């Protein structure tokens, strides 16, 4: 005679704390995704309407300036969840408002540097010095993109911007280049997937990606901080931007 108990599948053996951890992570991801969607609504709308955005570079470069403050606010919120794993969505928008000016000042130079490098690549790729200069410009663009991301992560701890902040982010991107490339790869994959499935992608992916990017950026800044302080000791300037 068969034992009816033996045929049953074992249930999930998760205690209350495990479920709390799961739901806290889901809450964190959904809040970040909502914040990114709201603060970047003009850019998302333009990408949805324009089928070939690369044909309008100036317009989309201007819209991309808004990405910096939204990234800084997302990183700030993710740090806030270390203390309160159910931090309300209002905390993200308060961080966005408080960090907007310093984040814009820290993000704009890197966006402009990427734009200049991309323009030079488009102009020089079919010229005689193109084969020698294009790889260099690709490296410049990658370092600038990585430095911009690290700069926004740094603002989560110290909501002020200075030339020292920018130089430290660049130094970290060069010294820990493999983490910088990993961040850019994750962000690039996320953008591609969101482009393929906008609603599902925006609802799931950005918060998970930025959680990993923030951890990598923190590791980059922590490991190079002593060396950066020594190398950039003569580059100190009074900070500009919002107070903590």
Give me the pLDDT at residue 235, please: 46
Q: 53 CB contacts (<8 Å, ≥6 apart)? A: 46, 47, 60
For helices 130-154 and 89-124, what crossing angle results, to 10°?
Answer: 170
Average pLDDT over residues 223-227: 66
Interval 164-190: pLDDT, tens: 889 999 999 999 999 999 999 999 999
Residue 125 predicted with pLDDT over 60: yes
Q: What percent of the chain has a predicted confidence (pLDDT) above 90?
A: 52
Kindly state the DSSP code that residue 161 receives in the 8-state scheme: B
CB 147 within 8 A of CB 173: yes
How much is the pLDDT for 227? 57
CB contact set of 243 (below 8 Å; sequence gap of 6+):
159, 160
* Residue bearing the bigger pLDDT, 180 or 224: 180
Residue 157 has pLDDT above 70, yes or no: yes
Minimal CA–CA distance to 143: which of 116, 115, 105, 181? Answer: 181
Tell whether the model's pLDDT for residue 8 goes beyond 60: no
**Mean pLDDT across the stretch 149-159?**
87
Residue 23 has pLDDT above 50, yes or no: yes
- pLDDT number for residue 19: 63
Task: Report in angstroms the alpha-carbon separations of 145 from 95, 152, 177.
Answer: 22, 11, 12
- pTM reported for the whole predicted model: 0.82
pLDDT, one tens digit per residue, over 58-112 is 999 999 999 999 999 999 999 888 887 778 888 999 999 999 999 999 999 999 9
Instruction: HSE, CB side, 13 Å, CA atoms: give it for residue 116.
Output: 9
DSSP for residue 242: -
**Helices and strands, number each (H, E), in the chain:** 9, 0
Burial class, 31, CB count within 10 angstroms (exposed 0-12 / middle 13-18 / buried 19+): buried
Please provide residue 161's backbone torsions phi and psi, each rounded to the nearest 5 degrees.
-125, 140
| Mean pLDDT for the stretch of residues 225-232 | 55
- The angle at the Cα of 177, spanning 172 to 183, to the nearest 5 degrees, equals 95
Name, in order, each residue with C-beta under 8 angstroms of 147's C-beta and a sequence gap of 6 or more.
Answer: 110, 166, 169, 170, 172, 173
- Tens of pLDDT along 29-70? 899 999 999 999 999 889 888 888 888 989 999 999 999 999
């Amino acid at each position: 005679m068969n034992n009816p108990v033996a045929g049953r599948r074992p249930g999930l053996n998760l205690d209350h704390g495990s479920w709390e951890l799961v739901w806290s992570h889901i809450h964190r991801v959904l809040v970040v995704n909502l914040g990114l969607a709201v603060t970047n609504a003009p850019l998302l709308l333009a990408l949805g309407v324009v089928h070939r955005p690369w044909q309008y570079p100036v317009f989309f470069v201007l819209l991309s300036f808004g990405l910096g403050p939204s990234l800084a606010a997302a990183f700030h919120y993710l740090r806030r969840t270390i203390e309160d794993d159910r931090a309300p969505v209002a905390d993200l928008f308060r961080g966005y408002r408080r960090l907007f000016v310093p984040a814009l000042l820290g993000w704009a130079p890197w966006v402009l540097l990427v734009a200049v490098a991309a323009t030079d690549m488009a102009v020089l790729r079919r010229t005689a010095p193109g084969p020698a200069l294009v790889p260099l410009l690709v490296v410049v663009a990658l370092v600038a993109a990585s430095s911009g991301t690290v700069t926004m992560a740094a603002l989560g701890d110290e909501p002020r911007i200075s030339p020292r902040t920018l130089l430290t982010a660049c130094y970290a991107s060069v010294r820990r280049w493999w983490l910088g490339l990993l961040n850019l790869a994750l962000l690039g994959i996320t953008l591609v997937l969101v482009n393929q499935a906008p609603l599902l992608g925006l609802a799931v992916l950005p918060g998970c990606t930025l959680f990993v990017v923030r951890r990598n950026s923190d590791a980059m800044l922590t490991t190079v901080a002593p060396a950066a302080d020594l190398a950039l000791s003569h580059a100190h300037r009074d900070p500009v931007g919002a107070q903590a």
